[in-house]
């Protein structure tokens, strides 16, 4: 399916085309006493953001069409676009230009298109170098889409590294606080992990004679220059940093806190998901035996990340930093579900990638809107906001309740599915992780009580609530999707199950003692018993 028209190539590179078009917009040179700078006249500033919105929305529409046309009865990769880029006859191994989506990547592609469009909308009033700003947002979208659709390790790595450039500039130029420090810390952490990942990729590709993910098998790596467990560890380090897991998580709170709102939305909504996606797509698919042998260690690491992240979150006084640390805890659920080694746990882990992207993305959107009005993120300074910003306060409460796993909202579905999939194999770690849910309720409710509720504060009487269309649209879309996935999760969960089932079956071949819980059918939420 999709063998004729290269629809995935269009999807991946359309945002990049938009970025190039924005870069070609003419500027107007203004001379100051010591310097000459190029600025955009007013109409060109409007052109930059409208071009960004048009290309981001067009990408979202293509992703939505692919999601609708995706064959739920099929298997393997769909809409593939492949040709041989480097032949083994020349260098001893193949490198393919290869794109494709399956049940694991398709929802993440759609999530990327949605959150990029939202990131453009919430940046509508940006007036500092808007041309570069919107161009970097679109380049970031291309890099993330490339990661989620690449079927060749070399192209996967290229897109993985490309993401660093736009995120660095978005934080360093348009951020706040210690923006240069946070941007550089983000780059150094990612570079450190990428160096090990590249070694692992090269060893795998040379040993297998190809970098095509569809052709590499663990059996072909027996003669590699490094033992398979070492290759697994090298690649896991890169994905663990991006997820992130404790103790390689410290870059995340700084990057989130100092990044502009749109960059925080993209970072929490899709960039962290690259780590969880990579673990499932590469480690558990290409090295199932080694992955199965590491399940206990992964479950312990997940439980530590969940509890440590939650405990640190309770101590935060900055609302944006609180949301950032909560991501460390919630991403631990992804690793716990993966460690369950079965269809249920892996489906829950994949679902957590999407639900966390929507919920935390919404939290950063609302916190950013509140900060634009109050010019503070200190929780203690926001008391009484609900009297003057009722809609924004309601949106913050809604997103907070979704984040703590309130039933009928999206977060509840993914967490319950993770617990059902992991409990049968890792009872102690799952029991510890459940404490993280209680802590999440504590820090969310406490933060809400200290910020938006309380007596009136006359400092906020001049504040204006949500009025602009570019604020209503993102909030309305996120609320609708969080409710939809909470009430009818199978619209996405069925697609994820289609993608993770081959991975779980590959694990079961090398690990026969992997037995699914009898709760499998019940865990397929939205379909009845």
CA distances from 435 to 114, 303, 314, 323, 428 (A): 32, 9, 13, 18, 11
| pLDDT-derived band at 43, boundaries 50, 70, 90 | low
How much of the chain, in percent, has pLDDT values that exceed 90? 72
Q: Is the pLDDT of residue 216 over 70?
A: yes
Give the whole-angstrom CA distance, residue 52 versus residue 300.
43
For residue 353, pLDDT beyond 90: yes
Rounded mean pLDDT, 212-229: 86
pTM listed for this prediction: 0.92
Lowest mean pLDDT among 26-40, 68-82, 466-480: 26-40
Going along 182-258, which residue ranges are E strands? Answer: none
pLDDT tens-place string over residues 461-483: 888 998 889 999 999 999 999 99
pLDDT in tens, 368-381: 999 999 988 889 88
Closest CA to 113 of 70, 73, 152, 56: 56
Tell me: the pLDDT tens digits for 392-435?
A: 999 999 999 999 999 999 999 999 999 999 998 899 999 999 99
Contact 232, 199 (CB under 8 A): no
Alpha carbon distance 388, 368 (integer Å): 17
pLDDT band at 390 (very low <50, low <70, confident <90, very high): very high
- Residues 142, 336: Cα–Cα separation, whole Å: 29
Give dist(CA 322, CA 360) in Å, integer: 11
Q: Read off the pLDDT of residues 136-189 as tens digits, 9 standing for 90 and up.
A: 999 999 999 999 999 999 999 999 999 999 999 999 999 988 999 999 999 999
Q: What is the mean pLDDT of the chain?
A: 89
Q: Show the tokens assigned to 227.
A: 């033992």
What backbone torsions phi and psi does residue 211 show, to the nearest 5 degrees? -105, 5
Rounded Cα–Cα distance for residues 118 and 474 (Å): 5
Residue 223: Cβ within 10 Å count:
9
């Amino acid at each position: 399916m999709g063998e004729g028209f290269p629809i995935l190539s269009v999807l991946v590179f359309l945002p990049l085309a938009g970025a190039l078009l924005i870069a070609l917009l003419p500027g107007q040179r203004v001379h100051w006493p010591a310097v000459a700078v190029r600025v955009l006249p007013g109409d060109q500033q409007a052109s930059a953001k409208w071009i960004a919105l048009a290309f981001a929305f067009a990408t979202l529409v293509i992703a939505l069409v692919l999601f609708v046309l995706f064959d739920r009865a099929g298997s393997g990769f769909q809409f593939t676009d492949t040709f041989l880029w480097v032949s083994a006859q020349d260098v001893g191994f193949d490198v393919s230009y290869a794109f494709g989506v399956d049940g694991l990547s398709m929802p993440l592609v759609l999530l990327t298109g949605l959150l990029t469009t939202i990131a453009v909308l919430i940046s509508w009033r940006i007036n500092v170098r808007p041309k570069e700003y919107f161009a970097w947002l679109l380049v970031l979208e291309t890099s993330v889409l490339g990661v989620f659709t690449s079927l060749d390790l070399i192209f996967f790595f290229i897109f993985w590294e490309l993401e660093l450039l736009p995120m660095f500039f978005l934080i360093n130029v348009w951020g706040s606080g210690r923006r240069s420090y946070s941007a550089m810390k983000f780059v150094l952490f990612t570079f450190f992990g990428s160096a090990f990942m590249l070694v692992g990729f090269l060893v795998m590709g040379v040993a297998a004679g190809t970098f095509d993910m569809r052709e590499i098998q663990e059996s072909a790596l027996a003669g590699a220059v490094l033992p398979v467990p070492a290759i697994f560890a090298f690649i896991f380090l890169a994905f663990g940093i991006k997820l992130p897991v404790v103790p390689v998580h410290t870059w995340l709170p700084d990057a989130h806190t100092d990044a502009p709102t749109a960059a925080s939305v993209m970072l929490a909504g899709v960039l962290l998901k690259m780590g969880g996606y990579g673990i499932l797509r590469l480690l558990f698919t290409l090295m199932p035996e080694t992955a199965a042998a590491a399940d206990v260690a992964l479950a312990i690491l997940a439980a530590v990340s969940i509890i440590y992240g939650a405990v640190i979150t309770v101590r935060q006084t900055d609302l944006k930093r609180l949301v950032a640390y909560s991501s460390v805890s919630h991403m631990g659920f992804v690793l716990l579900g993966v460690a369950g080694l079965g269809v249920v746990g892996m489906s829950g882990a994949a679902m957590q990638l999407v639900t966390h992207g929507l919920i935390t993305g919404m939290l950063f959107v609302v916190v950013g809107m509140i900060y634009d009005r109050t010019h503070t993120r200190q929780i203690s300074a926001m008391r009484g906001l609900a009297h003057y910003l009722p809609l924004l306060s309601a949106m913050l409460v809604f997103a907070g309740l979704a984040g703590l796993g309130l039933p009928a909202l999206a977060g509840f579905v993914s967490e319950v599915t993770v617990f059902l999939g992991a409990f049968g194999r890792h009872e102690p770690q799952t029991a510890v992780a459940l404490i993280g849910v209680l802590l999440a309720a504590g820090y969310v409710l406490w933060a809400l009580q200290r910020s938006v509720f309380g007596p009136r504060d006359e400092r906020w009487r001049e504040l204006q609530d949500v009025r602009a269309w570019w604020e209503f649209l993102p909030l309305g879309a996120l609320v609708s999707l969080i409710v939809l996935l909470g009430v009818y999760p199978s619209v996405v969960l069925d697609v994820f199950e289609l993608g993770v089932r081959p991975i779980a079956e590959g694990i079961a071949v090398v690990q026969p003692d992997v037995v699914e819980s009898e709760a499998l059918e019940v865990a397929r939420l939205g379909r009845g018993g």
